[in-house]
Structure 1
Amino acid sequence: MSKLIEIRNLSVDYVTFDGRVRAVNDVSFHINKGEIVGLAGESGCGKSTIAYSLMRLHRPPALISEGKILFEGRDVLAMNEEQLRNFRWKETSMVFQSAMNCLNPVKTIEYQFWDIFEAHGMVKDRKESIEKAKELLRIVDIPTERLFDYPHQFSGGMRQRVVIAMALALKPKLLIMDEPTTALDVVVQREILQKVYQLKEQFGFSILFITHDLSLMVELCDRIGIMYSGQLVELAPSKEILSMPLHPYAHGLGDSFPTLHGELQEMKGIPGTPLDLKNVPEGCRFAPRCFKATESCKIVDPKLISVSENRWVACHTPLEIQINN
């Protein structure tokens, strides 16, 4: 499979009065064409910061301080404003966190579609815009007569599907979904994710799927990256993340979710608290919470290395077999 987007040694800082806080530290991974890659981890681990970086949506005090983002070989970080305008939404689009609250409450759905098409020169008049908008609503299973309604007249799940339709309006090659099912019940979550997968199969775009819900991600993604305190600590095929985790943090995340089949098992939390990024210690950032930490873990920060085909881990003492106790 050929690469669609490649992130190389990406670092993002937030500039504060007390100095810089590194929210993303030396992260590298890629997404192939037609692939779904997930990023999982606790709140504040840097998932959304990476997502915003891919489209250069950050505003001060955020600063992309190091690295490259290559989209089909073009450096996104070197694009000027005109190139960015053509890149955003046409080649890469995003469903934002709490997307169902992103719609303008005083404008009809039809107007908001028109705003997208008109801004990017995709239609010659309002009539063509309406026809394109109706086609997109059909794709996400919303009756076309609802086009002239206001957002408050839709349920949460329907608003979420409208936002997904808008994100697909310009037929992007990469769709970034930042916790797209937040605040929705599990039935609606499943319906929306099934629809997204069907659309991916139909149109062939790639997806970066971001959530803290690892069990939800396993059902949808081809590969999953585990983030901890701004770093990518493991990257593996989705099924192997739960069945054979290599990083102790990935193992802890798996134990934090209930099993859907088999005997009942006690869920276990990860001891300790997330790292304060203003006071990053030497060595591995997860060491204070890790049951396998050694003295070297407290001194040397492990790098993300390949341990087998399609598997990467940043750990001095990776788990070699599944731990059942």
Structure 2
Amino acid sequence: MMKKLIEVKNLSVDYVTFEGKVRAVNDVSFHIGEGEILGLAGESGCGKSTIAYALMRLHRPPALISDGEILCDGRDVLKMSDEELRDFRWKDTSMVFQSAMNCLNPVKTIEYQFWDIFDAHNVVKTREESIEKAKDLLRIVDIPTERLFDYPHQFSGGMRQRVVIAMALALKPRLLIMDEPTTALDVVVQREILQKVYQLKEEFGFSILFITHDLSLMVELCDRIGIMYSGQLVELAPSKEILSQPMHPYAHGLGDSFPTLHGELQEMKGIPGSPLDLNNVPQGCRFAPRCFHASDVCHRAKPTLESSGEQRWVACHTPLEIQSVAQEA
């Protein structure tokens, strides 16, 4: 059994609005093992990034973590003091954000931004020591060390993303959170960056939480995948099984929404309807209005995430029937 690095229990996150609280993440539970790559997939607005920010307590008003626990080595991140949280961030857990250009200070050199990290966490005593450490990190992500004194605008999009990855690894974290890190990049650069991240993970042994809406990209990288819909985790399974035998209709719909790279051409099918309005949540299953397999019970009762085999969890009233329907569709 893989040792748990991070364990999330019944996490709920609200956004406070003039019309009341909107629950963006609702009672989500999962864990990330040591050395594991866990993916979170789902359409925009389903709560993926909200969970990522909650793991490091990066939320600012109007966001509010209203319930749950986030455990790391038995310590609850949500109960940490400011000093404990400062030590936890970037040393235990770090993040590669969605837009690299927005993460880097446009008027400071890359060297200065590495120095800022090392100085804030008392890693080095001199600027010269900081420069040497920064050069080592640039070598790891295949960036020439002479570029250390350049500004962010002098780098391409892919190189900026690799700089951000190097910064995220600066303090040798145990968990690296990647929040759609390749969204703005072309497919060739995407593959280069993900291959490099995987190599670094194998070399340094850290775990990864990989967040994206691209299920096909995730299957190549992740050990397990969690499917999010409307703030809830609706399925959690080994990555290959999510594609070959999805047990939730939403996971099945995601699998049908992108083309296969091998085999015969197949018609792609979209998911009918629109994402749920979180101000108007239905009584039963949140996906029921869009579900091709919904029954009366789906509109009356809320399904809970329950075990459905080894390493498989699904929140659906009839998962076994759905599995057979998915294979026939």
Scaled by the length of structure 2, what TM-score is found? 0.98
Structure 1 CA distance for aligned equivalents of residues 196 and 74 of structure 2: 30
Equivalent residues of 2:7, 2:32 under 8 A apart = yes
Tell me whether 1:320 sits opposite 2:323 in the alignment: yes
Query: Aligned-pair distance for 1:324?
Result: 3.9
Match of 2:236 in 1: 235
Match of 2:55 in 1: 54
Equivalent residues of 2:100, 2:157 under 8 A apart = no
Equivalent residues of 2:249, 2:292 under 8 A apart = yes
- DSSP 3-state at the match of 1:323: helix
Query: Aligned-pair distance for 1:62?
Result: 0.5
Which amino acid letter does the alignment assign opposite residue 323 of structure 2?
E
Structure 2 CA distance for aligned equivalents of residues 100 and 143 of structure 1: 19
Match of 2:45 in 1: 44
- DSSP 3-state at the match of 1:93: strand
Tell me whether 1:88 sits opposite 2:93 in the alignment: no
Equivalences, count:
325
Match of 2:249 in 1: 248
Structure 2 CA distance for aligned equivalents of residues 291 and 107 of structure 1: 53
Structure 1 CA distance for aligned equivalents of residues 283 and 164 of structure 2: 43
Match of 1:113 in 2: 114
Tell me whether 1:267 sits opposite 2:261 in the alignment: no
Query: Aligned-pair distance for 1:320?
Result: 2.8
> RMSD value over aligned CA atoms?
0.7
- What's the CA shift string for 1:261-292, capped at 9, x where partnerless? 00000100000000000110100000000011
Structure 2 CA distance for aligned equivalents of residues 265 and 324 of structure 1: 14
Match of 1:103 in 2: 104
Match of 2:284 in 1: 283
Unaligned stretches of 5+ residues in structure 2: none
Unaligned stretches of 5+ residues in structure 1: none
Equivalent residues of 2:248, 2:323 under 8 A apart = no
- What's the CA shift string for 1:159-218, capped at 9, x where partnerless? 000000000000000000000001100000000000000000000000000000000000
- DSSP 3-state at the match of 2:210: strand
Query: Aligned-pair distance for 1:99?
Result: 2.2
**1:1-325 alignment runs, 5 A limit:** 1-318=2-319, 319-321=322-324, 322-325=326-329
Query: Aligned-pair distance for 1:72?
Result: 1.5
Scaled by the length of structure 1, what TM-score is found? 0.99
Structure 1 CA distance for aligned equivalents of residues 146 and 292 of structure 2: 57
Structure 1 CA distance for aligned equivalents of residues 113 and 82 of structure 2: 23
Structure 2 CA distance for aligned equivalents of residues 324 and 106 of structure 1: 56
- DSSP 3-state at the match of 1:308: coil
Which amino acid letter does the alignment assign opposite residue 180 of structure 1?
P
Please list every run of at least 4 consecutive aligned residues from structure 1 whose deviation after the TM superposition is greater than 4 angstroms. Answer: none
Query: Aligned-pair distance for 1:317?
Result: 1.6
Q: What is the identity percentage for the equivalent residue pairs of Structure 1 and Structure 2? A: 84
Structure 2 CA distance for aligned equivalents of residues 255 and 281 of structure 1: 25
Which amino acid letter does the alignment assign opposite residue 233 of structure 1?
V
- What's the CA shift string for 1:130-186, capped at 9, x where partnerless? 000000000000000110011111110000000000000000000000000011000
